[in-house]
Amino acid sequence: MTRPLVWWLLCLIPALATAQDEPLRLGFKGELLSLSQTQVIAREPLPADLQTPLGSVWKLFVYGWLVETNAHEPAYECRGQSKDEVYCCTAGGKIERDQALVKSCGLYFEPQRLGIAGADWRTYWQARQAPEWLLDLPSLQPATRVSVAELLKVLAVMPAQDQARRVLLDVVLKAADGNVVGELGGRLRVKTWSWLGDQDPSSRQGGFAGWTVDGTPVWA
């Protein structure tokens, strides 16, 4: 088993935790696919009302903003003052932008730390015809529920997509994945996410959002 595939399995644990009871749902090219661990078992048009928690994917949009606006923000320095620094660095260390995206360091991408003004953010994304949930900076929170169709649409035109794809988790699908490889190609570049369960807040749900190797947006 290759190292990238090990990362693939580890990062999808939240999404696949109940895989025996419920298949993985994947939004791709206007369709909603239901996947077992080896094959596509069902497909249907992507429902317009299908929603997902934004989860960690909000960091991807802040990353795109920073790249596209040619920002020169400072590194985040870990001082042991927040439990969330476990996703960033050890006390006394620091983390830069690309590594912060890979490690999902939310403290790095906090708009207040970066000095992002809500009005500037709205103007920027309005010019790119982004959905309403992306225009409102305070709404850019893990718990915010968004349309999967809108999420895929904005990923397709996201600024700094090339840079993001270079640093995101590189997922290699093995040949034994059969129909899954046929649908998605052999590689993905994704940002994993997890959040509280819809029905049971004590449980977790999760998946990923990103792109196939040719830049087609994908969500799970």
In tens, the pLDDT along 21-67 reads 567 788 888 988 887 766 677 889 999 999 999 989 999 999 999 99
Return phi, psi of residue 206, to 5°: -175, 175
Tell me the C-alpha distance between 208 and 111, whole Å: 22
Classified as helix, coil or strand, 202 is: coil
DSSP, collapsed to helix, strand or coil, labels residue 194 as strand
Tell me the per-residue pLDDT of 73-129, one tens digit each, with 9 for 90 and over.
999 999 998 999 999 999 999 999 999 998 899 999 999 999 999 999 999 999 999
CA dihedral 122, 128, 140, 119 (to 10 degrees): -10
123-146 residue pLDDT tens = 999 999 999 999 999 999 998 999
pLDDT the model gives residue 164: 87
Q: Locate tokens 């078992």: which residue?
A: 41
Which is more confident, 83 or 186? 83
Q: What pLDDT is recorded for position 5?
A: 35
For the chain, give every domain's residue range: 6-219
d(CA 59, CA 102): 10
Query: Quick one: which of 210, 164, 177, 169 has its CA closest to 27?
Result: 210
pLDDT given at position 147? 95
The proportion of the chain whose per-residue pLDDT surpasses 90, expressed as a percent, equals 46
Q: Are 4 and 129 in contact (CB under 8 A)?
A: no
pLDDT on residue 16:
44
**Which pTM value belongs to this model?**
0.80
Partners of 194 in the beta sheet?
Answer: 206
Provide the pLDDT for residue 180: 47
User: CA nearest 150: which of 212, 217, 211, 196?
Assistant: 217
The one-letter amino acid code at 124 reads Y
**Is 128 or 168 the better-scoring residue by pLDDT?**
128
**Tens of pLDDT, residues 194-209:** 765 555 565 556 778 8
**CATH number of the domain at 6-219, please?**
3.40.710
